[in-house]
């Protein structure tokens, strides 16, 4: 027994396609907006996303379109799964066509450069005040390729309104995709965004040939600095021990499917950032997020040494070996300080 919803999924990358397929297979009425008109046409015809998820068969009931207005019209839930840096533009474009009582769920993980706003803050900046209570975010350790194979996965939906979080939980949960709820929107969003920065560091460590000790240190100390910034921005510190914190951090720092870890690994092997990114079909969110995270650490006067070094690595072309040396020779201090 589940609540039947009319859902628009905005974004036809691997994660958007997976979530749209999951919801459609559950019996929800789902439309999927795909930016590339030619890809949308092929997906509608062949039931395959040959660009981003070629091994997954899309349910016949899933409506695929490249018309944004058509995708959102009359939908009760609008799930946004676009790269974080285009969220503002997409939301501004689609909102006039959406139902007045539509719920907005963001599954994009990032922080907007320049404004330093989280994704829910961007949504509140764009949407009228009356819609702010209908904003939620979805995060947690979830590789698209594993979810579309039906592998057991747990995620979290965060909303200020508990009833809204429970509605999304009921709409999205299946026998292999378990959704928990949280009232801590800021904590869930920051965990999902900042773990990508630490994953670049972990990948770089692996690329340099370091072992499990180094990776474990980066994950643990990375979590410490994520939590420090989160608390400074009003998040609940316990959130960072949960699915959107430690869960997603471990997955992204260790999983072979992690795009951010792959970027770091290639940097550790001596490749240049421009060449790495030009060879990737999908966005590695941590590249843009590292700049915003570094600036947030300065704004809130929070010590984030790993984030700082990833910023130097990406934006100042700092040598990876120098990054490691500077992290290891910082002033000695207590673990909980």
* CATH code, domain with 147: 3.40.50.720
- Please tell me what DSSP assigns to residue 246: I
Q: Are residues 96 and 158 in the same domain?
A: yes
**CA torsion, points 84, 34, 54, 261, in degrees to nearest 10?**
-10
Q: Are residues 243 and 191 in the same domain?
A: yes
Angle (CA) 265-269-270 rounded to 5° is 120
Sheet holding 63-65, edge to edge: 63-65, 29-33, 6-10, 77-80, 103-106, 135-139, 153-159, 177-182
Residue 235 CA to residue 230 CA, distance in Å, equals 5
Among residues 150, 183, 216, the one where a domain terminates is 183
Mean pLDDT of 158-167: 98
Q: Are residues 281 and 311 in the same domain?
A: yes
- Which positions are annotated as active-site residues? 195
DSSP β-ladder status, 63-65 and 29-33: parallel
Share of the chain above pLDDT 90, in %: 96
pLDDT band (50, 70, 90) for residue 2: low
Among residues 129, 160, 183, the one where a domain terminates is 183
pLDDT band (50, 70, 90) for residue 156: very high
The average confidence (pLDDT) of the chain is 96
193-227: pLDDT as tens digits: 999 999 999 999 999 999 999 999 999 999 999 99
Mean pLDDT of 77-94: 97
CATH, residue 307: 1.10.1040.10
Range of the domain at 314: 186-328
Is a pLDDT exceeding 90 seen at residue 94? yes
pLDDT band (50, 70, 90) for residue 1: very low
99-146: pLDDT as tens digits: 999 999 999 999 999 999 999 999 999 999 999 999 999 999 999 999
- Please tell me what DSSP assigns to residue 83: -
Among residues 140, 158, 183, the one where a domain terminates is 183
Is a pLDDT exceeding 90 seen at residue 282? no
- The total number of structural domains in the chain stands at 2
pLDDT band (50, 70, 90) for residue 281: confident
């Amino acid at each position: 027994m589940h609540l039947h919803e009319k859902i628009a999924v905005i974004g036809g990358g691997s994660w958007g396609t997976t979530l749209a397929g999951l919801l459609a297979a559950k019996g929800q009425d789902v439309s999927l907006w795909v930016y590339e008109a030619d890809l949308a046409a092929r997906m509608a015809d062949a039931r395959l996303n040959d660009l981003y998820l070629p091994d997954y068969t899309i349910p016949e009931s899933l409506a695929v379109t490249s018309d944004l207005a058509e995708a959102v019209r009359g939908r009760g839930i609008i799930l946004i799964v676009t790269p974080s840096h285009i969220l503002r533009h997409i939301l501004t474009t689609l909102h006039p066509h959406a139902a007045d009582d539509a719920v907005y769920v963001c599954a994009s993980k990032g922080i907007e450069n320049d404004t330093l706003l989280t994704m829910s803050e961007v949504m509140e900046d764009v949407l009228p005040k009356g819609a702010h209570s209908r904003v939620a975010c979805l995060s947690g350790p979830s590789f698209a390729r594993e979810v579309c194979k039906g592998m057991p996965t747990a995620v979290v939906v965060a909303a200020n309104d508990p009833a809204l979080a429970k509605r999304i939980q009921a709409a999205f949960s299946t026998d292999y995709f378990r959704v928990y709820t949280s009232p801590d929107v800021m904590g869930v969003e920051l965990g999902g965004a900042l773990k990508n920065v630490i994953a670049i560091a972990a990948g770089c460590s692996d690329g340099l040939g370091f072992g499990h000790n180094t990776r474990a240190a980066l994950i643990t100390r990375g979590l410490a600095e994520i939590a420090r910034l989160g608390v400074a921005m009003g998040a609940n510190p316990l959130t960072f021990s949960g699915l959107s914190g430690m869960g997603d951090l471990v997955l992204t720092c260790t999983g072979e499917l992690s795009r951010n870890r792959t970027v770091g690994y290639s940097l550790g092997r001596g490749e240049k950032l421009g060449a790495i990114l030009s060879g990737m079909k999908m966005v590695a969110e941590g590249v843009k997020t590292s700049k915003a995270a570094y600036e947030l650490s300065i704004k809130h006067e929070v010590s984030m040494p790993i984030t700082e070094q990833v910023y130097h690595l990406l934006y100042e072309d700092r040598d990876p070996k120098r990054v490691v040396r500077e992290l290891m020779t910082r002033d000695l201090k207590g673990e909980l300080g």
